[in-house]
Amino acid sequence: MPVDGSFGVKGTTFDAPDLGQVRIREDALVVIDAEGSITQALESDDPGYAETEARLRREGSLTVLGEGQYLFPGFIDLHIHAPQWPQSGTALDVPLAEWLNTYTFPLEARYEDQRFARDVYGSLVESLLANGTTTAVYFATTHLPASRILADLCLQRGQRALVGRVAMDSPETCPDFYRDPSARAAIEDTRALIDYVNGLPGNSGLVRPIVTPRFVPSCTDELLGGLGDVVGETGAHVQTHCSESDWAHGYGLERFGRTDTATYDAFGLLTRRTVLAHSNLITLDDMDTIVAAGAAVAHCPLSNAYFANAVFPLRESLDRGLHVGLGTDISGGPATSIRRTMTDAVVASRMREDGVDATVDPSRRGVAGSRVTLAEAFWMATTGGGVALDLPVGLLSPGYAFDAMIIDTKVEDSDLLLWPSLDTGSDVFEKSMHHATRRNVVRVWVQGSEVRSVTGR
Ligand code: GUN
Ligand code: FE
């Protein structure tokens, strides 16, 4: 092993420095320092390539990708409800408000039980890592002890994570069995989780706290204002749901006479480090407000098909420079992988472009120019997620954390098949993003630490 703890990975890499373009580097040499940050990403004609490769080999610290293996940045999932993991794939038959009351609040209330929390959260972190999700942004529940357990598990397993203790105190929309007893109690617990996560032994920023008002309907003015103060004092990240469905959006409009975006802004909750989930019904003015704040949207296309009543205006948002990344929204979205979410984003945009009602004239059926490409979706799944969080993740470039995965196209029992005589580099990218499953994700690193390694060949 090298004296300084650095190591290298050599092989073909895919990442997306610019929206809409996939960078493909054959035989790239990525050098990572002892802190897990990328110091160099050399191509074979760069000066120093041969010497660096020789040194790493000599020191026994070079991983060379095998035939059919490719290096990708890890995925960034901007929106996950950790406690909803046990109902992923079920409970998709009713609209949002009914879904919350019938299925979701009763399930989330169970996290009073810390053993149940440990069991579920351990399983979720493992599954996400296996799918290549190296950064996860989590809603936990209102329970402080269970929220701490989620942060502990992420740190132990080495997953980069933002963990939020959910705040929800409105007696009008939250049931008696699952509600913060007061705004003050919710604010105190929010501060307590921030202090706990920041003070976790061995945590040098891998796991971070995130202030989490559930959404406008579930929070009193006092709670929204108090959490805004916490954000102002601590500079912590923020996450919430924004203008998700006709009902949720309409509730905020009726209560405040303004959109959710304007409400969050008024309460000090719209910052450079805010992630607004969904945002399907935002207006063009809202987009300007979000762009001015430097805040981000977590686009969750699969969940939106069940709960949002409309398709998020993704093209317009990207074209305005609004920060957009992707979220599974487990369990509103019944899928675990952001790779799947990428293709869902493309499909939703194509259906929005063409429209859906065959009886309507094609000229008026859809929203012209709505489509996004797979390369744009890949940017959102990686680079865009990093931009949204204001963290140096998502790219295989110097200065970024080495959060990465190897996708192996030669594992057994896989539908990811290449025909080397036909497939170009860009074909390898498209096939990988359409067909890879967790079987193909054979090795995962977060901040330079290997967090998963399997052999599927
Ligand atoms: N709005 C408020 N809570 C939730 C939730 O848990 N999931 C989704 N999709 N929307 C919400
Ligand atoms: Fe959600």
What is the tens place of the pLDDT at every residue in 147-166? Answer: 999 999 999 999 999 999 99
Specify the residue with its C-alpha closest to ligand 1, atom 8: 332
Q: State mean pLDDT over 100-114.
A: 98
**Looking at domain 75-389, which of 3.40.640.10, 3.90.1150.10, 3.40.50.10470, 3.20.20.140 is its CATH number?**
3.20.20.140
Mean pLDDT of the chain: 98
Q: Pick from 74, 75, 20, 79: which is nearest to 300 by CA?
A: 79
pLDDT score recorded for residue 455: 87
What are the boundaries of each domain within the chain?
A: 7-73+394-453, 75-389
Q: For the full predicted model, state whether its pTM sits above 0.95.
A: yes
Residue 145 has pLDDT above 90, yes or no: yes
Q: Binning pLDDT at 50, 70 and 90, where does residue 457 land?
A: confident
pLDDT, tens only, 398-422: 999 999 999 999 999 999 999 999 9
Give the C-alpha separation, 357 to 369, whole Å.
17
- For residue 281, the one-letter residue type is L
Q: Of 77, 92, 96, which is best to mutate to test ligand 1, by the most ligand atoms within 8 angstroms of its C-beta? A: 96
pLDDT at position 437 is: 98
Q: What is the pLDDT of residue 88?
A: 98
Ligand 2 centroid–CA 341 distance in Å is 14
Percentage of the chain exceeding pLDDT 70: 99
Place of tokens 């709670």: 223
- For residues 187-209, give the mean pLDDT: 98
Nearest CA to ligand 1 atom 9: 332
104 lines ligand 1 (CB under 6 A): yes
Is the pLDDT at 456 greater than 90, yes or no?
A: no
From the alpha carbon of 241, which atom of ligand 1 is closest?
Answer: 1
Rounded to the nearest angstrom, the distance between the alpha carbon of 371 and the centre of ligand 1 is: 26
Rounded mean pLDDT, 436-443:
98
What confidence tens digit (pLDDT) does each residue in 333-376 have?
Answer: 999 999 999 999 999 999 999 999 999 999 999 999 999 999 99
Architecture of domain 7-73+394-453: Roll (2.30)
Mean per-residue pLDDT, 377-399 = 99
Q: Looking at residues 11-26, what average pLDDT do you find?
A: 98
Cβ of residue 79 lying under 6 Å from some atom of ligand 1 = no
State the pLDDT at residue 1: 53
C-alpha gyration radius of the chain: 22
Q: Are 78 and 333 in contact (CB under 8 A)?
A: no
Nearest CA to ligand 1 atom 3: 214
What letter does residue 340 receive in the DSSP assignment? H
Ligand 2 mean position, distance from CA 84 (Å): 10
Q: Which two tokens stand for residue 322?
A: 């609004």
DSSP labels for 75-101? EEEEEEEGGGGGGTT---SS-HHHHII
Quick one: which H or E segment has residue 199? none
Answer whether residue 184 shows pLDDT above 70: yes
Closest-CA residue, ligand 1 atom 7, reads 332
Could you identify the atom of ligand 1 that is nearest to the CA of residue 217?
2
Cα–Cα distance, 209 to 197 (Å, whole number): 6
Q: What is the pLDDT of residues 35-74, one digit of tens each?
A: 999 999 999 999 999 999 999 999 999 999 999 999 999 9
pLDDT tens digits for range 80-93: 999 999 999 999 99
- Give the Å distance between the CA of 410 and the centre of ligand 2: 35
Q: Residue written as tokens 């809202």?
A: 286
> What separation in Å is there between the alpha carbon of 278 and the centre of ligand 1?
9
SS3 content of the chain, % helix, strand, coil (to 5): 40, 20, 35
Any atom of ligand 1 within 6 Å of the Cβ of 241: yes
As a whole number of angstroms, the distance between CA 200 and CA 155 comes to 9
pLDDT for position 435? 98
Reply yes or no on whether the pLDDT at 430 is more than 70.
yes
For ligand 1, what atom is nearest to the CA of residue 139? 6
Span from the CA of 278 to the centroid of ligand 2 (angstroms)? 8
Residue of 214, 218, 276 to mutate, ligand 1, most atoms within 8 A of C-beta: 214
Region of 426 on the Ramachandran plot (φ > 0 left; ψ -120 to 50 alpha; else beta)? alpha
State which ligand 1 atom lies nearest to the alpha carbon of 104. 6
Residue with tokens 């990525």: 30
pLDDT at 3 exceeding the cut of 70: no
Q: 213 CB less than 6 Å from ligand 1?
A: no
The reply to whether ligand 1 has any atom less than 6 angstroms from the CB of 215 is yes
- Residue 413 is encoded by which pair of tokens? 């029992």
Q: Which ligand is the nearest neighbour of the Cα of 79? A: 2
Q: What is the mean pLDDT of residues 249-256?
A: 98
Q: How many residues does the chain have?
A: 457
pLDDT of residue 2: 59
Decide whether any atom of ligand 1 lies within 6 Å of the 249 Cβ. Answer: no
Question: Could you tell me the distance, in angstroms and rounded to a whole number, from the CA of residue 80 to the centre of ligand 2?
Answer: 7
